[in-house]
A and B are shown apart, each in its own frame.
Chain A
Amino acid sequence: MDFRFDIIVEYAPYFFQGLLATIGVSLVGIIFGLILGLFIGLGKMASHPIVRWPFVWYINFFRGTPLVVQILLVHFGVMPLLFAQPNAIVSLAVALSLNSAAYVAEIFRAGIQSIDKGQMEAARSLGMTHAQAMRYIILPQALKRMIPPFANEFIVLIKDSSLGMVIAAPEIMYWGKAAAGEYYRVWEPYLTVAFVYLVLTLSLSKLSHYLERKYSTS
Chain B
Amino acid sequence: MIDVRQLKKSFGSLEVLKGINAHIREGEVVVVIGPSGSGKSTFLRCLNLLEDFDEGEIIIDGINLKAKDTNLNKVREEVGMVFQRFNLFPHMTVLNNITLAPMKVRKWPREKAEAKAMELLAKVGLQDKAHAYPDSLSGGQAQRVAIARALAMEPKIMLFDEPTSALDPEMVGEVLSVMKQLANEGMTMVVVTHEMGFAREVGDRVLFMDGGCIVEEGKPEDLFDRPQHERTKAFLSKVL
Chain A residues with a Cβ under 8 A of chain B: 116, 118-119, 121-129, 132, 136-137, 140-141, 144, 218
One of B21-29, B98-106, B214-222, B223-231 contacting the partner: B98-106
A195: min CB distance to chain B, Å: 39
Chain B residues with a Cβ under 8 A of chain A: 48, 50, 73-74, 76-77, 79-81, 83, 85, 87-91, 100-101, 104-106, 146, 149-150, 153
B3: min CB distance to chain A, Å: 20
Q: Please indicate the chain B residues that have their CB under 8 angstroms from the CB of A137 in the complex.
A: 89
Closest to B81 in A: A125
| Structural contact, A126 and B150, CB atoms closer than 8 A | yes
| Structural contact, A128 and B89, CB atoms closer than 8 A | no
Additional 4 contacts, C-beta under 8 A, given A126-B77, A132-B104:
A119-B89, A122-B81, A127-B76, A127-B105
Q: Please indicate the chain B residues that have their CB under 8 angstroms from the CB of A140 in the complex.
A: 91
Interface residue SS majority, chain A:
helix
Closest to A215 in B: B91
Q: List 15 A-B contacts (CB under 8 A).
A: A116-B87, A121-B83, A122-B83, A122-B88, A122-B146, A126-B100, A126-B153, A127-B73, A127-B74, A127-B106, A127-B153, A128-B101, A132-B104, A132-B105, A141-B89
Contacts across chains A and B counted by CB atoms under 8 Å: 59
Bound CA–CA A173/B146 (angstroms): 56
Q: Known: A124-B50, A127-B153, A141-B90. Contact between A118 and B105, CB under 8 A?
A: no
Bound CA–CA A141/B133 (angstroms): 14
| Structural contact, B105 and A128, CB atoms closer than 8 A | yes
Among B79, B81, B90, B104, find the residue whose CB has the most chain A CB atoms closer than 10 A.
B104
Q: Please indicate the chain B residues that have their CB under 8 angstroms from the CB of A127 in the complex.
A: 73-74, 76-77, 101, 105-106, 153
| Structural contact, B48 and A125, CB atoms closer than 8 A | yes
| Structural contact, A119 and B87, CB atoms closer than 8 A | yes
A136: min CB distance to chain B, Å: 6
Q: Please indicate the chain B residues that have their CB under 8 angstroms from the CB of A116 in the complex.
A: 87
Q: Please indicate the chain A residues that have their CB under 8 angstroms from the CB of B105 in the complex.
A: 126-128, 132
Q: Please indicate the chain A residues that have their CB under 8 angstroms from the CB of B81 in the complex.
A: 122, 125
Q: Please indicate the chain B residues that have their CB under 8 angstroms from the CB of A136 in the complex.
A: 100, 104
Q: Known: A127-B153, A136-B104. Contact between A121 and B76, CB under 8 A?
A: no
Bound CA–CA A106/B85 (angstroms): 28
| Structural contact, B73 and A129, CB atoms closer than 8 A | yes
Q: Known: A126-B101, A127-B74, A128-B105. Contact between A121 and B91, CB under 8 A?
A: no
| Structural contact, A125 and B104, CB atoms closer than 8 A | no
Closest to B133 in A: A218
Bound CA–CA A121/B85 (angstroms): 11
Contact of B85 among A118, A124, A125, A129 (CB under 8 A): A118
Give the top 5 A-B pairs by smallest Cβ distance, nearest first.
A127-B77, A122-B87, A126-B101, A118-B87, A125-B81
Q: Please indicate the chain B residues that have their CB under 8 angstroms from the CB of A118 in the complex.
A: 83, 85, 87
Q: Known: A119-B89, A140-B91. Contact between A125 and B80, CB under 8 A?
A: yes
B155: min CB distance to chain A, Å: 9
Closest to B90 in A: A141
Closest to B96 in A: A136
Q: Please indicate the chain A residues that have their CB under 8 angstroms from the CB of B91 in the complex.
A: 140-141, 144, 218
| Structural contact, A122 and B89, CB atoms closer than 8 A | yes
A50: min CB distance to chain B, Å: 20
Among A126, A128, A129, A144, find the residue whose CB has the most chain B CB atoms closer than 10 A.
A126
Bound CA–CA A141/B92 (angstroms): 10
Q: Known: A118-B87, A121-B83, A122-B87. Contact between A128 and B48, CB under 8 A?
A: no
Bound CA–CA A118/B45 (angstroms): 12
Bound CA–CA A218/B96 (angstroms): 13
| Structural contact, B149 and A121, CB atoms closer than 8 A | no
